[in-house]
Protein backbone atom coordinates (compact mmCIF):
# COMPACT_ATOMS: atom_id res chain seq x y z
CA UNK A 1 0.00 0.00 0.00
CA UNK A 2 1.16 3.63 -0.43
CA UNK A 3 3.52 4.74 2.32
CA UNK A 4 1.85 6.80 5.02
CA UNK A 5 1.93 7.27 8.78
CA UNK A 6 0.97 4.01 10.48
CA UNK A 7 -1.02 5.03 13.54
CA UNK A 8 -3.05 1.82 13.56
CA UNK A 9 -0.50 -1.00 13.53
CA UNK A 10 -2.01 -3.80 15.61
CA UNK A 11 -5.51 -2.30 15.50
CA UNK A 12 -8.68 -4.00 14.30
CA UNK A 13 -11.36 -1.73 12.86
CA UNK A 14 -14.96 -2.49 11.88
CA UNK A 15 -16.75 -0.16 9.45
CA UNK A 16 -20.41 -0.37 8.49
CA UNK A 17 -21.64 0.57 5.04
CA UNK A 18 -18.07 0.21 3.78
CA UNK A 19 -18.69 -1.08 0.26
CA UNK A 20 -18.51 2.34 -1.39
CA UNK A 21 -18.23 6.08 -0.85
CA UNK A 22 -17.14 7.38 2.54
CA UNK A 23 -17.16 3.89 4.06
CA UNK A 24 -14.82 2.45 1.43
CA UNK A 25 -12.48 5.44 1.60
CA UNK A 26 -12.35 5.11 5.38
CA UNK A 27 -11.58 1.39 5.15
CA UNK A 28 -8.72 2.10 2.74
CA UNK A 29 -7.39 4.89 4.98
CA UNK A 30 -7.28 2.67 8.08
CA UNK A 31 -5.65 -0.14 6.14
CA UNK A 32 -2.96 2.21 4.78
CA UNK A 33 -2.18 3.14 8.37
CA UNK A 34 -1.71 -0.48 9.38
CA UNK A 35 -5.11 -1.58 10.67
CA UNK A 36 -6.82 -4.88 10.00
CA UNK A 37 -10.21 -3.85 8.64
CA UNK A 38 -13.57 -5.58 8.86
CA UNK A 39 -15.44 -4.27 5.82
CA UNK A 40 -19.17 -4.70 6.33
CA UNK A 41 -22.23 -3.93 4.25
CA UNK A 42 -25.78 -5.12 3.70
CA UNK A 43 -24.97 -6.53 0.24
CA UNK A 44 -23.12 -9.83 0.79
CA UNK A 45 -20.88 -9.32 -2.27
CA UNK A 46 -20.16 -5.58 -2.18
CA UNK A 47 -17.89 -5.46 0.89
CA UNK A 48 -15.63 -8.11 -0.63
CA UNK A 49 -14.73 -5.68 -3.42
CA UNK A 50 -13.44 -3.14 -0.92
CA UNK A 51 -11.65 -5.84 1.09
CA UNK A 52 -10.05 -7.19 -2.09
CA UNK A 53 -8.81 -3.71 -3.01
CA UNK A 54 -7.22 -3.38 0.41
CA UNK A 55 -5.50 -6.75 0.09
CA UNK A 56 -4.30 -5.92 -3.43
CA UNK A 57 -2.59 -2.86 -1.95
CA UNK A 58 -0.88 -4.95 0.71
CA UNK A 59 -3.31 -4.38 3.55
CA UNK A 60 -5.32 -6.75 5.74
CA UNK A 61 -9.09 -6.93 5.40
CA UNK A 62 -12.01 -9.31 5.76
CA UNK A 63 -15.53 -8.80 4.40
CA UNK A 64 -18.65 -9.50 6.45
CA UNK A 65 -22.35 -9.09 5.78
CA UNK A 66 -23.99 -6.76 8.28
CA UNK A 67 -27.57 -5.51 8.28
CA UNK A 68 -27.56 -2.74 10.88
CA UNK A 69 -31.34 -3.01 11.01
CA UNK A 70 -31.01 -6.44 12.63
CA UNK A 71 -29.62 -7.00 16.11
CA UNK A 72 -28.75 -10.60 15.21
CA UNK A 73 -26.87 -9.57 12.07
CA UNK A 74 -24.95 -6.84 13.91
CA UNK A 75 -23.94 -9.10 16.77
CA UNK A 76 -22.85 -11.83 14.35
CA UNK A 77 -20.71 -9.41 12.31
CA UNK A 78 -19.04 -7.92 15.40
CA UNK A 79 -18.37 -11.37 16.85
CA UNK A 80 -16.97 -12.64 13.54
CA UNK A 81 -14.65 -9.64 13.18
CA UNK A 82 -13.41 -9.90 16.75
CA UNK A 83 -12.76 -13.61 16.29
CA UNK A 84 -11.01 -13.12 12.95
CA UNK A 85 -8.67 -10.41 14.25
CA UNK A 86 -8.45 -11.41 17.89
CA UNK A 87 -9.65 -7.99 19.05
CA UNK A 88 -11.66 -4.92 18.09
CA UNK A 89 -10.32 -1.42 18.70
CA UNK A 90 -12.39 0.92 16.54
CA UNK A 91 -15.98 1.01 15.32
CA UNK A 92 -17.02 3.37 12.53
CA UNK A 93 -20.79 3.80 12.23
CA UNK A 94 -21.26 4.78 8.60
CA UNK A 95 -24.36 2.92 7.38
CA UNK A 96 -27.41 5.11 6.79
CA UNK A 97 -30.72 5.45 4.97
CA UNK A 98 -31.93 8.68 3.37
CA UNK A 99 -35.36 8.81 1.76
CA UNK A 100 -36.73 11.68 -0.35
CA UNK A 101 -39.16 14.00 1.42
CA UNK A 102 -42.81 13.99 0.47
CA UNK A 103 -43.91 17.22 -1.20
CA UNK A 104 -45.89 18.11 1.91
CA UNK A 105 -44.75 17.20 5.42
CA UNK A 106 -48.21 15.92 6.35
CA UNK A 107 -47.93 13.35 3.55
CA UNK A 108 -44.77 11.73 4.95
CA UNK A 109 -45.49 7.99 5.45
CA UNK A 110 -44.66 6.37 8.76
CA UNK A 111 -42.61 3.60 7.17
CA UNK A 112 -40.23 6.03 5.46
CA UNK A 113 -39.67 7.94 8.70
CA UNK A 114 -39.17 4.70 10.63
CA UNK A 115 -36.70 3.23 8.13
CA UNK A 116 -34.41 6.27 8.04
CA UNK A 117 -34.29 6.45 11.84
CA UNK A 118 -33.89 2.71 12.26
CA UNK A 119 -30.93 2.35 9.89
CA UNK A 120 -29.19 5.66 10.54
CA UNK A 121 -29.68 6.14 14.29
CA UNK A 122 -30.80 2.85 15.80
CA UNK A 123 -28.34 0.99 13.56
CA UNK A 124 -25.47 2.95 15.10
CA UNK A 125 -26.91 2.17 18.54
CA UNK A 126 -27.04 -1.55 17.74
CA UNK A 127 -23.46 -1.59 16.47
CA UNK A 128 -22.11 0.44 19.39
CA UNK A 129 -23.88 -1.82 21.88
CA UNK A 130 -22.45 -4.95 20.30
CA UNK A 131 -18.93 -3.56 19.91
CA UNK A 132 -18.55 -1.83 23.28
CA UNK A 133 -17.36 -4.82 25.33
CA UNK A 134 -14.62 -5.48 22.77
CA UNK A 135 -13.64 -1.81 22.66
CA UNK A 136 -13.40 -1.70 26.44
CA UNK A 137 -11.24 -4.83 26.44
CA UNK A 138 -8.86 -3.31 23.88
CA UNK A 139 -7.81 -0.55 26.27
CA UNK A 140 -7.79 2.02 23.44
CA UNK A 141 -11.28 1.71 22.02
CA UNK A 142 -12.92 4.39 19.92
CA UNK A 143 -16.25 4.88 18.18
CA UNK A 144 -16.56 7.37 15.34
CA UNK A 145 -19.96 7.90 13.77
CA UNK A 146 -20.63 9.57 10.44
CA UNK A 147 -23.18 12.29 11.00
CA UNK A 148 -24.08 15.10 8.62
CA UNK A 149 -24.50 18.85 8.46
CA UNK A 150 -28.17 17.88 8.10
CA UNK A 151 -28.09 17.11 11.80
CA UNK A 152 -26.87 20.64 12.56
CA UNK A 153 -28.83 22.88 10.17
CA UNK A 154 -31.73 22.62 7.72
CA UNK A 155 -30.84 21.10 4.36
CA UNK A 156 -34.03 19.10 3.87
CA UNK A 157 -34.74 15.38 4.38
CA UNK A 158 -36.82 15.37 7.57
CA UNK A 159 -36.25 11.79 8.72
CA UNK A 160 -32.58 11.56 7.71
CA UNK A 161 -31.84 14.90 9.37
CA UNK A 162 -33.62 13.91 12.56
CA UNK A 163 -31.64 10.67 12.63
CA UNK A 164 -28.33 12.48 12.12
CA UNK A 165 -29.24 14.96 14.87
CA UNK A 166 -29.98 11.98 17.09
CA UNK A 167 -26.48 10.68 16.41
CA UNK A 168 -25.06 13.95 17.74
CA UNK A 169 -26.94 13.39 21.00
CA UNK A 170 -26.02 9.69 21.17
CA UNK A 171 -22.38 10.66 20.71
CA UNK A 172 -22.52 12.88 23.79
CA UNK A 173 -24.39 10.48 26.02
CA UNK A 174 -22.35 7.46 25.00
CA UNK A 175 -19.14 9.42 25.48
CA UNK A 176 -20.19 10.09 29.07
CA UNK A 177 -20.93 6.42 29.67
CA UNK A 178 -17.95 4.94 27.83
CA UNK A 179 -15.25 7.44 28.82
CA UNK A 180 -14.68 6.02 32.31
CA UNK A 181 -14.37 2.60 30.62
CA UNK A 182 -11.58 3.82 28.37
CA UNK A 183 -13.56 4.27 25.14
CA UNK A 184 -13.82 7.58 23.27
CA UNK A 185 -16.89 8.43 21.18
CA UNK A 186 -16.93 11.16 18.53
CA UNK A 187 -18.75 12.14 15.34
CA UNK A 188 -17.84 13.78 12.05
CA UNK A 189 -20.50 15.84 10.26
CA UNK A 190 -19.73 15.99 6.53
CA UNK A 191 -21.19 18.47 4.12
CA UNK A 192 -21.74 17.60 0.46
CA UNK A 193 -19.40 14.77 -0.52
CA UNK A 194 -18.83 13.31 -3.99
CA UNK A 195 -20.16 9.76 -3.52
CA UNK A 196 -22.19 7.25 -5.56
CA UNK A 197 -25.30 8.48 -3.72
CA UNK A 198 -25.18 11.56 -5.96
CA UNK A 199 -24.20 9.92 -9.24
CA UNK A 200 -26.77 7.16 -8.82
CA UNK A 201 -29.57 9.73 -8.92
CA UNK A 202 -28.13 11.60 -11.87
CA UNK A 203 -27.32 14.72 -9.85
CA UNK A 204 -24.38 17.05 -10.48
CA UNK A 205 -22.81 17.40 -7.06
CA UNK A 206 -20.74 20.39 -8.16
CA UNK A 207 -23.80 22.63 -8.52
CA UNK A 208 -23.46 23.47 -4.81
CA UNK A 209 -19.73 24.17 -4.72
CA UNK A 210 -20.19 27.95 -4.62
CA UNK A 211 -21.96 27.54 -1.27
CA UNK A 212 -18.68 26.32 0.22
CA UNK A 213 -16.07 28.86 1.37
CA UNK A 214 -13.31 26.50 0.19
CA UNK A 215 -14.83 26.49 -3.29
CA UNK A 216 -15.42 22.77 -3.72
CA UNK A 217 -17.48 19.87 -2.46
CA UNK A 218 -15.86 17.22 -0.30
CA UNK A 219 -14.25 13.99 -1.36
CA UNK A 220 -14.66 10.73 0.59
CA UNK A 221 -10.98 10.92 1.52
CA UNK A 222 -11.58 14.25 3.30
CA UNK A 223 -14.00 12.54 5.66
CA UNK A 224 -11.83 9.43 6.02
CA UNK A 225 -8.91 11.57 7.20
CA UNK A 226 -11.04 13.15 9.94
CA UNK A 227 -12.36 9.76 11.04
CA UNK A 228 -8.83 8.38 11.28
CA UNK A 229 -7.73 11.35 13.36
CA UNK A 230 -10.57 10.98 15.85
CA UNK A 231 -9.95 7.23 16.13
CA UNK A 232 -6.22 7.65 16.66
CA UNK A 233 -4.18 8.40 19.76
CA UNK A 234 -3.61 11.86 18.29
CA UNK A 235 -7.13 12.54 19.60
CA UNK A 236 -6.55 10.79 22.92
CA UNK A 237 -8.11 13.66 24.92
CA UNK A 238 -11.09 14.24 22.64
CA UNK A 239 -14.47 12.66 23.26
CA UNK A 240 -18.12 13.58 22.84
CA UNK A 241 -17.48 16.08 20.05
CA UNK A 242 -19.11 16.71 16.69
CA UNK A 243 -16.50 17.76 14.13
CA UNK A 244 -17.91 19.45 11.01
CA UNK A 245 -16.00 18.33 7.91
CA UNK A 246 -17.84 20.66 5.59
CA UNK A 247 -15.54 23.10 3.81
CA UNK A 248 -16.87 25.88 6.05
CA UNK A 249 -20.53 25.43 5.06
CA UNK A 250 -21.95 25.67 8.59
CA UNK A 251 -19.66 28.55 9.57
CA UNK A 252 -19.99 30.91 6.61
CA UNK A 253 -23.19 31.81 4.74
CA UNK A 254 -21.83 32.07 1.21
CA UNK A 255 -25.32 32.36 -0.27
CA UNK A 256 -25.91 35.53 1.74
CA UNK A 257 -22.47 36.88 0.82
CA UNK A 258 -23.16 36.36 -2.89
CA UNK A 259 -26.64 37.93 -2.57
CA UNK A 260 -25.40 41.18 -1.03
CA UNK A 261 -22.43 41.77 -3.33
Active site residues: 160, 164
- What residues form DSSP beta bridges with 218? 193
Please count the residues of the chain: 261
Using the 8-state DSSP alphabet, how is residue 249 labeled? Answer: T
Question: Please, what is the angle between helix 123-138 and helix 71-85, to 10°?
Answer: 30
Closest CA to 190 of 68, 21, 33: 21
Phi, psi dihedral angles at 23 (to 5 degrees): -60, -45
Other Cβ atoms less than 10 A from the Cβ of 60: the count is: 16
State phi, psi for 128 to the nearest 5 degrees: -65, -40
Backbone φ and ψ for 135, nearest 5 degrees, come out as -65, -40
DSSP 201: T
Amino acid sequence: MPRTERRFDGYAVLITGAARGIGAATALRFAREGAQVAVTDLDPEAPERTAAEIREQGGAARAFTCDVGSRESVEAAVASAAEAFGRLDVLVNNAYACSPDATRFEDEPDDVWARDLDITLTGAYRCSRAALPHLVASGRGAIVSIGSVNGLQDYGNHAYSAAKAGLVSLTRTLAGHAGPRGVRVNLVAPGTVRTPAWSNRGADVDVVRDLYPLGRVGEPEDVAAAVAFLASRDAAWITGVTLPVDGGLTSVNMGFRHAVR
